[in-house]
Amino acid sequence: MRAFWQAMLHVDRRAYAYVQRLRGAPSPFVWFVLTHVGGATATLLATSFVVLVAPPSIARVAIVALLSVVISHIPVAIMKKGFRRLRPYRELSSTRLPTQLLDDHSFPSGHATAICAATMPFVFLHAAHTLWAIPIALIVSLSRIVLGHHYPSDVLVGMCIGTSSAWCTHLWLHS
C-alpha cells in the first residue's frame, strides 16, 4: 500500500510541475484575481447577493448553493487538521512563491470546494448553466495549482467535496 501512495505522490508532483508552467500566462495578477472568485468569502457573498436580487426560481437555487458552501467547509476543516499536508511552496524548492503565503494546510483545497459547492447547484437546476458554472469551477480550481497553493490531488478532492455537498444539499432541500 505504501508503494501505491508513493506512486500517487510522484504523479501528483509531476502534474503540479506541469501546471506550474501556466503561471506566466496570462499573468500572475489574473490568476490571483481568479483564485479569489472561489474563496469562501466571495462565494458566500455572491450566493447571498443572488438570493436577495434574483427571481424566486434562481434565488431558491442560490439558497442551496449558500448552504452547500457553508456545509462543505466542515469536512474541509476536519481533513486539513487530520492530513496536515504541507503546501507545495513550503515543500518543493522549484515552486515560485505565491504572492500570498498561507499558514494552514494544503489538503483539501477550500477554494475548489467552495466554488464547486456554489456553482454545481445551478448545474443541477438546468444543464444550460453548465456553460458558465463548469468553466468557472475549473479555472478557479486550476488557479490554486498555478499559484503554488495546492497539488492537483488537493484540488480534485476539494472539487469532489464541493460537488458532493451541493448534491446532498440539493437532495436534502428537495426531498
111 pLDDT more than 60: yes
Mean pLDDT of 97-119: 79
pLDDT value at residue 52: 94
Q: For residue 4, count other CB atoms closer than 10 A to its CB.
A: 8
Mean pLDDT of 103-126: 88
107 pLDDT more than 70: yes
Cα→Cα distances 175→108, 139, 159, 165, 170, Å: 29, 32, 24, 15, 9
Element (H, E) at 77: helix 56-83
pLDDT value at residue 8: 81
85 pLDDT more than 80: no
Of residues 147, 67, 63, the one with CA closest to residue 109: 147
Residues 6+ apart with CB under 8 A from 70: 44
103 pLDDT more than 80: no
C-alpha cell at 56: 424566486
111 or 89, higher pLDDT = 111
151 pLDDT more than 70: yes
pLDDT in tens, 12-26: 888 887 777 776 666
93 or 131, higher pLDDT = 131
Residues 6+ apart with CB under 8 A from 118: 43, 46, 47, 65, 66, 68, 69, 162, 166
pTM of the model: 0.86
Instruction: Give residue 31's identity as a one-letter amino acid code.
Output: W
